[in-house]
Amino acid sequence: MTRLQEWLPLLLCLVFIDVVGADDFQCEGTYPSAAGGSVPHMPTVTKDSDSYQATVEVNILDKNYSFVIDEFLDYEGNRALLRVYKRGVQSSSIFSYDTDEVFSITNGLCSVSNISESRFGFVFGDGSQTTGDRRHVFASAAVLRFAADKHDVYNGTSQVRGIPADVYSTCINWQGVVGKARVTYYFSQFNWNTSAPRQQLPLRIEVEGLSSFPMFGGGPPYKTTQSSKPRYFHHIYDFINYLPYIADDPSIFLTPPNVVCEKRVVTKTFPKFGKFVNVRHEEIDPLSGNIEHRHLWYDQEAKMVRMDYRWDPPGSGQYTNGITSIGDFNTGIEYTIDHIKGCTIGALKTKDPGVDTKQKALDGTDFFTVDFKDPNTLFYLNENYIYVGKRKVRSIMCDVFIAAVSNYTIEGTQVDVTFEYHFLAGNWHDIPIDASMTTEGIYPVQLVINAPERYWTKVYNFYDFSDKRPLSSDFDVSSCFGNSQRVEIQLTFPGSIDSNAWDNTEFKERLHYQLAEVLQLNPVRIAGVRISRDYQNIFVKAWLLSTVNAAQFEKLSAQSMEKMGDTSYTRIQSFSECADSCINHKDFQCNGFLFCAQDNTCRLSKLQVVTGDIVTGGVLCDAYSRTTSGPAISQPSLSEAYNTLTAAVQQKKVQVTLKDAEGFEPPPFTAITVQVTSGALIKDKPMPNIPQKFFYRVESVLPSLTTVVETYMWYDGPLKLFRYDTRYLSQLQETTIHDFNTGVAYKINQVTKECTVSTIGMDQPDTVKPSNTNGSRVNTLAMKNAMDLLFIDGSYKYIGQSTVRGIPCDVFETRRTDYKDRLSNSNQTNQITIFKYYFQVDNWKYFSAEAMDITKGQMVRLDIEDRTTNDFRTYNIFDFNDEHHAYSFYDTSACFEPDQRKSFAIIFKDQSFHPTLDAYSATFLNSALLEMSKQTLVSPIRFQKASVTYDDSSIYLLVTALGTPPPLALFYKLGPVARNTSAPQELALFADDCAASCVESKDFLCYSFDFCDADSDNPSCLLSGYRLSANINSQDGSNSAASSLTCTRYIRSENVTGPRLSSERIFQILTDVVYDNMFEVSISPPNEQVFSCLCCLNSDNNYSDSDDLDALPSI
């Protein structure tokens, strides 16, 4: 039997098994009083209140010991408390009937059990009593069992501790008692005043009898051993200061401070902080008697922390004046601003506010990285807190939560502690200084950290808490930068702000973060935003701050031998220059470097520590590690940042929207100009050159048409070939090939293989518009050079840098008035168009999927804005490749019937394929086809299906020559002209017939023709040996006297010098060239090599579908 089992049945409620009635009362020694007069009944002390509290002295006379109990019953609160003092030990039991729990606490340790299943269930009720659907504690009448009316016998008067008392007695049947036990009650007499506001309160209960158990008070559910010989027992319970209500503070029903009852029922969710915190707090150290004051600003979105404090006592730290510490976790930099001495910039340290340190080791070198603590970690809110209840702190009603924390570090030692958090109760409100509204709900009032085994306590009192986002000016570090390290800019916004109706602070905050977003700049590098205005404009000034890349790195304790690393730079003069090289390196994110001052080498590493083989003849180097472990952020220079801002202003991207006093959002303020008002920037930069052959993939974004078009483009200026693949105007992918050698356009459906052959025409984007020569002649159809095709000329101005798709780009802009491709159906005649090109910066490399080398300075994007109509287009350029592409990319064989194809092989006898053509077969094919074009004077794309193979003795070049396109495809339409009635006429029913007559003319080289009266029954065809302009007649070149324009003029696209060649004729010419030993193919691998052809083989026209050389009979 436990000690509690000895006293609990008697000291509180004397749980009666059966109360004997008055008629058959047989308990010996229980006699009624012989005094005359009326006999008073036992007082009904519990009728006026269901709650009570008392101190009970328990005297176990038969065991020779005593102990004391404080009893508390709070009926309205549905809870109770026992505090037991025995043999120098205090233990408590707290009963929570709302959660069916009893918390048993001894020596600061707590255990939790269910009341309904606990051995204590009989004390205040086992929970079987309910009020509605709520489990409830017994009332005091049921607990104490005083006032048993007629069953209690009045025994006269006596004295208890000198207090006159009325005495009552009764007999009870009690399990474990032989016969009946006698219970005697003592109450203060009616005319005796007590500590309570009423009279007749209990003073004593005395119980005696015989027990059949050696340890009296046992019984179910507790097993004891029954004795063969009864034992006498005698217990006295003195009630001291019995009160029929709870006089003590209600917090007595809470588990005590620093006591954690694990696994208790969760009745309230522990609060969590949001992304922003602004709070003052005092840190109290009871042992030292020091109180330190702090002010903290926390912005999780901006990854910034600021702490204002002062070291105490003076001289204990590096700084003795007021300190502002601003931690920038985007870069791992701490700005420490001494309010007297100035600013120091360095890497974040492990003990800085908000720092979550991870100690690491690599290649035998120790280093650390810092991460940004989330607000709940920073304020110790991530522990397993348990709700305790409500308690007052600083006279403020608070919700109290507690958690047990292991391995908390105190002075270098890890110990077990408790964290007790106090939050403002729900019906309380705080009005902080730094917020515009009252704070409700989540508001910390106090945190107490206690380590009992170390007699150590730390108290944090919080004041002026606000979860409103700190202002950007709260993190202003501009005082750390001199005039040479910053520039002042001014933005102009049309419009005005009424100071009585608008919040200028809101305007500045929105603009600050929008500038950071537009510039892709760390927000801390924008500072000192100020606003002024006149009647028409708002003027915003701000500082753009320079980079401090060196401060992102922590110097490791030990020097290192020079190691290879992942890349290196030479002729580096300083540690800061090496840090700049690391930050600005583009091939990989640099996280550490070695600076070797003795040989001016900077070795970069992808890891925080430089690894790799030791450099032969290397020197000792200083090792540096980036303090942050996450992705590095962009660190553009002041010039790059300003140029990006300039571009954004020109694109009307710098906008700020504010709500008015009624909560409505009017149209945004849009910046129209930006200028530097203080400081200097780096100036102009030349636009990259455009190669004369290239391939790229372009995504055309056409907002006015709500359309995005994907197109593949090939351009070869030297070969005068242009191709693009798209399906913008067709459900299936179409390939369009322009052969400017002949002026012919081929459009091939890539699914059905259907082909349309026509003239390229004058209005294509790759065509140079034919111009007049001496007012009477026009030029051949010509292909635009690369610069003209891409709208690039010398008018572009460098406006800065911007990032597109994550690629840093140099941005160039021009203003044009000659761009006629209208972006909308506007009927306005004037047009101002802004072209803005984005080129990858010089130190970045582009690896195209099909290229053999690395592309630099490639086009990334083109924006075209029609300022007249405000329409806009964006062309995103991918996979730019400036290498020559094989003729197979310009394959038009699908446009020719089998009888228009001639397949053959050219044999290079006694010449080896290996090793040269193993690596350079593609170069061999391109050179061979170019040689065939040169020998036959035909377009190179008339040679297709080319391949090269070999046997033990020879190399075989297999190729198919294509026929001639339709005659009309060789002419572009110039326009309507007057009929010349004096010119000779050819018979032609259709324009195609007229074109054929011109092409096949044997009397002269025909360069143009007029097709007249096309809709009549007798159309006519007039040929000319000149490319005449539209106002000149055919043949004689005289002005026409006709009164109407009844003819259409067609101009020969190519500069023809002879008749067209069929595929059979091409083969014959090449045969003669081969047998005259004039066909040679030169390629230039590391050493130039010439392949000479000795004979030519013929094939049938279907050979191109076969690789069987036996199908080619020898000529």
3-state SS track over 766-825: CEECCCEECCCEECCCEECCHHHHCCCCCCCEEEEEEEECCEEEEEEEEEECCCCCCCCC
Q: Do 601 and 569 meet the contact criterion of CB atoms below 8 Å apart?
A: yes
Query: What's residue 160's pLDDT?
Result: 95
CA distance 59 to 233: 11
Q: Do 628 and 329 meet the contact criterion of CB atoms below 8 Å apart?
A: yes
Neighbours of 922 (CB within 10 A): 16
Peptide bond into 313 cis (omega under 30): yes
- The four Cα atoms 243, 245, 248, 251 give a dihedral, to 10 degrees, of 150
Three-state SS annotation for 828-876: CCCCCEEEEEEEECCCCCECCCCCCCCECCCEEEEEEEECCCCEEEEEE
Query: What's residue 392's pLDDT?
Result: 93
Location of structure tokens 């190691």: 563
Domains and CATH numbers, the chain: 3-253 (2.50.20), 276-466 (2.50.20), 472-547+639-678 (3.30.70), 693-881 (2.50.20), 887-964+1061-1111 (3.30.70)
Cα Rg of the chain, angstroms: 50
Query: What's residue 33's pLDDT?
Result: 57
Q: How many alpha carbons lie under 13 Å from residue 808 in its C-beta half-sphere?
A: 22
Q: Do 1001 and 1008 meet the contact criterion of CB atoms below 8 Å apart?
A: no
Query: What's residue 593's pLDDT?
Result: 92
Three-state SS annotation for 417-447: EEEEEEEECCCCCECCCCCCCCECCCCEEEE
Query: What's residue 666's pLDDT?
Result: 79
Of 485, 412, 394, nearest to 448 (Cα)?
Answer: 394
CA distance 176 to 774: 137
CA distance 346 to 550: 8
Q: Do 400 and 240 meet the contact criterion of CB atoms below 8 Å apart?
A: no
Beta-carbon contacts of 860 under 8 Å, excluding residues fewer than 6 positions away, are 804, 805, 807, 809, 838, 839, 840, 876, 877
- The four Cα atoms 384, 387, 391, 394 give a dihedral, to 10 degrees, of 30
Of 941, 938, 843, 937, nearest to 888 (Cα)?
Answer: 941
Neighbours of 186 (CB within 10 A): 25
- What parts of the chain have a pLDDT lower than 50? 1-26, 147-150, 216-224, 501, 1034-1037, 1040, 1042, 1101-1115
- Token couple for 979: 């009929």
Give the distance, in angstroms, between the CA of residue 958 and the centroid of all CA atoms in the same chain.
56
Give CA separation, 1085 vs 573, 719, 1093, in Å. 41, 22, 19
Beta-carbon contacts of 546 under 8 Å, excluding residues fewer than 6 positions away, are 481, 485, 486, 525, 637, 638
Of 774, 536, 478, nearest to 669 (Cα)?
Answer: 536
What secondary structure does DSSP assign to 978-1017, as a single string? ---TTS--EE-SSHHHHHHHHHT-SSS---EEEEE-TTSS
Phi-psi region at 470: left, alpha or beta (left = phi > 0; alpha = psi -120 to 50) = beta
- Token couple for 221: 């559910």
Of 927, 919, 822, 942, nearest to 884 (Cα)?
Answer: 927
Provide the pairing of β-strand 444-451 with 413-424. antiparallel
Beta-carbon contacts of 89 under 8 Å, excluding residues fewer than 6 positions away, are 106, 107
Q: What number of helices (H) and strands (E) belong to the chain? A: 11, 65
Neighbours of 336 (CB within 10 A): 20
CA distance 1030 to 635: 60
CA distance 589 to 474: 31
Of 912, 916, 919, 926, nearest to 956 (Cα)?
Answer: 912
Query: What's residue 741's pLDDT?
Result: 87
Give the distance, in angstroms, between the CA of residue 457 and the centroid of all CA atoms in the same chain.
39
Query: What's residue 391's pLDDT?
Result: 93
CA distance 696 to 699: 10
- The dihedral built from the CA positions of residue 217, 220, 224 and 228, taken in this order, carries a sign that is positive
Of 511, 518, 468, nearest to 492 (Cα)?
Answer: 511
The helix, strand and coil proportions of the chain, stated in percent and rounded to the nearest 5, come to: 15, 40, 45
Q: Do 780 and 974 meet the contact criterion of CB atoms below 8 Å apart?
A: no
Task: Spell 631-644 as b/e; 16+ CB within 10 A means b.
Answer: ebebbbbbbbbbbb
Q: Do 334 and 348 meet the contact criterion of CB atoms below 8 Å apart?
A: yes
CA distance 922 to 926: 6
CA distance 171 to 31: 11
- pTM, two decimal places: 0.57
Peptide bond into 221 cis (omega under 30): yes
Location of structure tokens 């051995």: 119
